Amino acid sequence: MAAEVLFVDDNKLILETSLDLFRSHGIDLITAENAAEALELFRHHEIAVVVSDNRMPGMSGLDFLSRLRQISPDTVKVLISSYVDLATALTAINSSEVFRYLLKPWKNQEILEVVQEGLRRYRTVQAMRREDEAVLRSLAQTIELKDPNTKGHCDRVAVYALLIAEAMGLSKDTLRQIKYGSWLHDCGKIGVSELILNGSGRLNEDEFKTMKLHTDWGADLAEKARLSEVAKNIIRHHHEKYDGTGYPMGLKGEAIPLEARIVAVADIYDALTTDRSYRDRFLETEALDMVRAMSGEALDPEVVEVFLKVVPEGALPSSEEVLGEAPVEPGTPTATLSLVRARA
């Protein structure tokens, strides 16, 4: 049974126009005129996204969405109101885990984009939760399609991180979780516009603020997918800096989880040795010197020291070779692509 989109509003005209709008864009809706009717639908349908008006007879939209935290916690929740109400918006976000808060009358393109983003978010979480290696790798590769310059980045970061972690004597299970976290470390970029990801110059202040949000967005996805703490730490903290000047939390030194410090070194080295939209790659010797220079500032000195000893010359091994495992069967990138295609 395919996941569906539910609109809840006591105004029949709004439901009818919403049906027409979304059907014209290939999205089928189911509708309900009140919260009680909507709750009954959850007994028979898998609902990926629910869009609910707030002021309705009987149960309010806010109370309805709060109920869904127990009934269908993965459903992406959108609350709509006819007027600006900051208190309601904050309550919706804090107590109901509302994904977006929109005002009536909405713009068609706005509501379409919110629902499409909600669908991608729901399906991405479901794919991540299965923790199937082929699916996780395929998902990471698909997210990379938003930025063609990063093709293969997640795989290479995983290999570099595994080489470091293995040399540091971390357990096999931790190594495997580092692999998953490395593959998915940039999964929050699903919410970043290609205009920002693929720009030819340096980001302006507002663009950089948006880019920095990808760590929290990715960690939120990982939390909902119930990934391990190791994987979540990598996704959230791989842009922290050893001297405390990184993001999202400005953690310093060993307050940064070790797995994130490991992936930070791998991530930076791979970024330096590959072409980007705003610069050409550096030679490997130049990149190694730059990583060495970052030791004690952006990067953990101990991790850098280990990396400089284990970084391979020439062709990289696969992550399976590092772990001594059988190769992962190829996933289905075209199928996974449908989960995250287009701008979020």
Structure tokens at 89: 């918006």
Residue-wise pLDDT tens digits, 208-238: 788 888 898 888 888 888 888 999 999 999 9
The b-or-e profile of 326-338 (16+ CB within 10 A means b, else e) is eebeebeeeebbe
> Is it the case that residue 89 has pLDDT exceeding 80?
no
The per-residue pLDDT for range 243-275, each reduced to its tens digit, is 999 999 999 999 999 999 999 999 999 999 987
CA distance 32 to 51: 10
3-state secondary structure of 154: helix
What's the confidence (pLDDT) of residue 333?
A: 36
Please list, in sequence order, all residues whose beta carbon lies within 8 angstroms of the beta carbon of residue 304, skipping any fewer than 6 positions away. 265, 291, 292, 294, 295
Query: Alpha-carbon distance 305 to 98, whole Å?
Result: 44
Domain boundary assignment for the chain? 4-124, 132-340
Quick one: DSSP state of residue 267? H
**Tens digit of each residue's pLDDT (9 = 90 or more) over 113-140:** 889 888 888 887 887 777 667 777 877 7
Q: Catalytic residue numbers? A: 189
pLDDT of residue 144: 72
pLDDT of residue 28: 84
**What percentage of the chain exceeds 70 in pLDDT?**
83
Left if phi > 0, otherwise alpha if psi is -120 to 50, otherwise beta: which for 9? beta
User: Cα(11)–Cα(227) distance, rounded to whole angstroms?
Assistant: 40
> Is residue 100 over pLDDT 80?
yes
pLDDT greater at residue 76 or residue 91: 76
pLDDT at 342 over 50: no
Q: What top-level class would CATH report for the domain 132-340?
A: mainly alpha
Same fold for the pair 4-124 and 132-340: no
Lowest mean pLDDT among 80-89, 146-155, 294-303: 80-89
DSSP bridge partners of 103: 81
Least-confidence region, from 233-242, 290-299, 322-331: 322-331
Q: Which amino acid is at 252?
A: K
Question: Residue range 145-174: average pLDDT?
Answer: 86
- The single-letter DSSP state of residue 277 is T
Question: Which listed CATH number (1.10.150.240, 3.30.210.10, 3.40.50.2300, 3.40.50.880) goes with 4-124?
Answer: 3.40.50.2300
